[in-house]
């Protein structure tokens, strides 16, 4: 059991529960005897576009060249070079990973060496998995449950502890934290882990990135993912930026080949063409700005349902009564929402919804409305 320490913020006793993720498309399609493509998965927050042609060409090339016949290059030199150029960071300060999730495991390893971790909650459930994995001490610090629609916002907590886990924008609330407010707290901790998995997908998000500050603060590490922005959850590709000494230690301890050759080549091709990247993110941001407004407006008409503001492609809804029957009703129609009972500080009256294509958002909103009539 983890010990707790004096703290000015509400804390929750640690209890090991089933830590759940969204995105269980295969499982639900099988239950309903449907093709996975027929499921509207609003439980995982991805872009609704097919992956870009650059990516498909990259994967085809890898097959044609039989590149997977060889062990991947262990240093990941080319990929680090491209990521370094993309962010203006030295390749030595970069470590690519098998999705941000693998790197969250290693961030937990780093945190476990330093003492008490503070997890602003509700939060992405994987931080807890990672800290449990290293038998590390942690507390949950409750975030205020009301916020306005002006982003970025000031980070509202400063809990006592050694390590703080920040998610920007925050999952599951969708709040974008301002870089200036985050910089103010860096000096207070032995380690600040900032998970920017959704930052590039978020309109005006990249301005708030802490990546430039990694050169100034040795106790800051920033996690990134290519999963969300390119809709490639099955490829597994992310990276961390931070102190080369720390990252070298992670590298020494991890699997020898955590990234497969397809993910490596895809990463290189996706990040080396700036023009393509700018056009793609512009398309993604336009989609979010338009659909978020439409869906917000439609769902806000439902009695007794509060739709919370978000800076990004997912948001929380809160009902006066349990949303479990609604979620069940939708599941039977092949529509998945992220139920929130497995998020600390939330309960069955909350659900997280991710934006879909215009057509699927119309179906989603209509069926959510219907679910309240049952
Ligand atoms: C906040 C956050 N960080 C990281 C991840 C994991 O990303 P990846 O697919 O790169 O492992 C997720 C996935 O949902 C997430 O929500």
DSSP track, 201-247:
TSTT-GGG-SGGGGGT-TTEEEEEESHHHHT-TTT--EEEES-HHHH
pLDDT at 136: 97
| 255-265 core/surface letters (b: 16 or more CB in 10 A; e: else) | eeebbbbbbbb
Q: Return the biggest CA–CA distance within the chain.
A: 59
pLDDT at 9: 45
Residues within 6 Å of ligand 1 by CB:
99-101, 124, 167, 171, 195, 197, 225, 227, 233, 238
Q: Determine the atom of ligand 1 nearest the C-alpha atom of 98.
A: 11
pLDDT at 261: 97
Pocket perturbation via mutation, ligand 1, pick of 98, 106, 168, 171 by most ligand atoms within 8 A of CB: 171
Short-list 314, 322, 273, CA closest to 291? 314
Contacts of residue 28, defined as CB under 8 A and 6 or more positions apart, other chains included, come to 39, 331, 334, 336
Q: Determine the atom of ligand 1 nearest the C-alpha atom of 44.
A: 14
Pocket perturbation via mutation, ligand 1, pick of 225, 234, 338 by most ligand atoms within 8 A of CB: 225
pLDDT at 371: 96
- Which residue, judged by its Cα, is nearest atom 12 of ligand 1? 197
Q: Determine the atom of ligand 1 nearest the C-alpha atom of 102.
A: 11
Determine the distance separating the centroid of ligand 1 and the alpha carbon of 240, expressed in angstroms: 12
Reported as a pLDDT band with limits 50, 70 and 90, residue 23 is confident
Q: Determine the atom of ligand 1 nearest the C-alpha atom of 237.
A: 10
Determine the distance separating the centroid of ligand 1 and the alpha carbon of 79, expressed in angstroms: 20
What whole-number percentage of the chain has pLDDT above 70?
94
pLDDT at 11: 45
pLDDT at 19: 43
pLDDT at 2: 40
Reported as a pLDDT band with limits 50, 70 and 90, residue 374 is low
Short-list 104, 274, 336, CA closest to 95? 104
pLDDT at 32: 86
- Which residue, judged by its Cα, is nearest atom 3 of ligand 1? 197
The lowest-confidence range among 6-20, 54-68, 119-133, 190-204 is 6-20
Determine the distance separating the centroid of ligand 1 and the alpha carbon of 100, expressed in angstroms: 6
pLDDT at 29: 86
Tens digits of residue pLDDT in 291-323: 999 999 999 999 989 999 999 999 999 999 999
Residues 109, 89: Cα–Cα separation, whole Å: 23
Q: Determine the atom of ligand 1 nearest the C-alpha atom of 22.
A: 14
Tens digits of residue pLDDT in 261-296: 999 999 999 999 999 999 999 999 999 999 999 999
Please state, rounded to an integer, the average pLDDT across all residues of the chain: 93
Pocket perturbation via mutation, ligand 1, pick of 126, 166, 169 by most ligand atoms within 8 A of CB: 126
Helices (H), 313-357: 324-332
Determine the distance separating the centroid of ligand 1 and the alpha carbon of 99, expressed in angstroms: 7
Q: Determine the atom of ligand 1 nearest the C-alpha atom of 225.
A: 10
Cis peptide before 100 (omega within 30 of 0): no
Higher confidence at residue 14 or residue 325? 325
- Which residue, judged by its Cα, is nearest atom 2 of ligand 1? 197
Given a contact cutoff of 8 angstroms between Cβ atoms, the answer to whether 198 and 226 are in contact is no
Judged against a pLDDT cut of 50, whether residue 124 lies above it is answered with yes
pLDDT at 48: 94
Determine the distance separating the centroid of ligand 1 and the alpha carbon of 225, expressed in angstroms: 7
Tens digits of residue pLDDT in 140-195: 999 999 999 999 999 999 999 999 999 999 999 999 999 999 999 999 999 999 99
Residues 178, 106: Cα–Cα separation, whole Å: 26
Helices (H), the chain: 25-32, 53-64, 77-87, 99-112, 126-133, 179-186, 227-230, 244-253, 261-272, 274-300, 324-332, 358-371
Tens digits of residue pLDDT in 200-231: 999 999 999 999 999 999 999 999 999 999 99
Burial of 66 (0-12, 13-18, 19+ CB in 10 A): exposed
Judged against a pLDDT cut of 90, whether residue 14 lies above it is answered with no
Pairing of strands 305-307, 314-319: antiparallel
Determine the distance separating the centroid of ligand 1 and the alpha carbon of 298, expressed in angstroms: 28
pLDDT at 129: 96
Q: Determine the atom of ligand 1 nearest the C-alpha atom of 101.
A: 11
DSSP 179: H
pLDDT at 319: 97
Q: Determine the atom of ligand 1 nearest the C-alpha atom of 233.
A: 9
Determine the distance separating the centroid of ligand 1 and the alpha carbon of 260, expressed in angstroms: 18
Angle at 120 (CA atoms; ends 134, 254), nearest 5 degrees: 30
DSSP 177: B
Higher confidence at residue 18 or residue 247? 247
């Amino acid at each position: 059991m983890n010990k707790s320490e004096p703290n000015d913020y509400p804390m929750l006793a640690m209890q090991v529960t089933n830590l759940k993720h969204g995105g269980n498309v295969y499982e639900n399609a099988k239950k309903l005897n449907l093709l996975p493509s027929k499921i509207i998965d609003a439980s995982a927050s991805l872009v609704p576009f097919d992956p870009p042609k650059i990516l498909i060409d990259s994967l085809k090339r890898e097959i044609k060249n039989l590149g997977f016949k060889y062990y991947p290059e262990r240093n990941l030199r080319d990929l680090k070079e491209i990521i370094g150029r993309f962010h203006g960071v030295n390749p030595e300060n970069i470590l690519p990973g098998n999705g941000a999730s693998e790197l969250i495991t290693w961030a937990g390893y780093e945190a476990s060496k330093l003492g008490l971790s503070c997890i602003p909650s509700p939060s992405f459930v994987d931080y807890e998995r990672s800290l449990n994995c290293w038998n590390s001490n942690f507390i949950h610090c409750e975030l205020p449950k009301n916020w306005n629609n002006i982003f970025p916002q000031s980070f509202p907590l400063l809990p006592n502890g050694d390590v703080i886990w920040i998610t920007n924008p925050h999952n599951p609330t969708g709040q974008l934290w301002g870089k200036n407010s985050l910089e103010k707290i860096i000096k207070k901790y032995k380690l600040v882990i900032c998970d920017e998995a959704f930052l590039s997908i978020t309109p005006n998000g990249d301005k708030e990135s802490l990546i430039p500050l990694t050169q100034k603060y040795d106790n800051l590490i920033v996690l990134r993912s290519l999963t969300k922005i390119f809709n490639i959850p099955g490829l597994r590709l992310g990276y961390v930026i931070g102190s080369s000494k720390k990252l070298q230690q992670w590298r020494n301890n991890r699997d020898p080949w955590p990234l497969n050759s397809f993910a490596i080549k895809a990463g290189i091709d996706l990040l080396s063409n700036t023009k393509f990247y700018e056009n793609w993110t512009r398309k993604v941001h336009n989609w979010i700005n338009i659909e978020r407004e439409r869906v917000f407006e439609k769902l806000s008409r439902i009695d007794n349902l509060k739709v919370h503001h978000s800076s990004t492609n997912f948001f929380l809804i809160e009902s006066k009564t349990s949303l479990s029957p609604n979620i069940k009703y939708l599941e039977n129609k092949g529509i998945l929402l992220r139920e929130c009972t497995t998020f600390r500080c939330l309960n069955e009256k909350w659900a997280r919804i991710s934006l879909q294509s215009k057509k699927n958002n119309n179906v989603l909103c209509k069926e959510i409305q219907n679910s309240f009539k049952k």
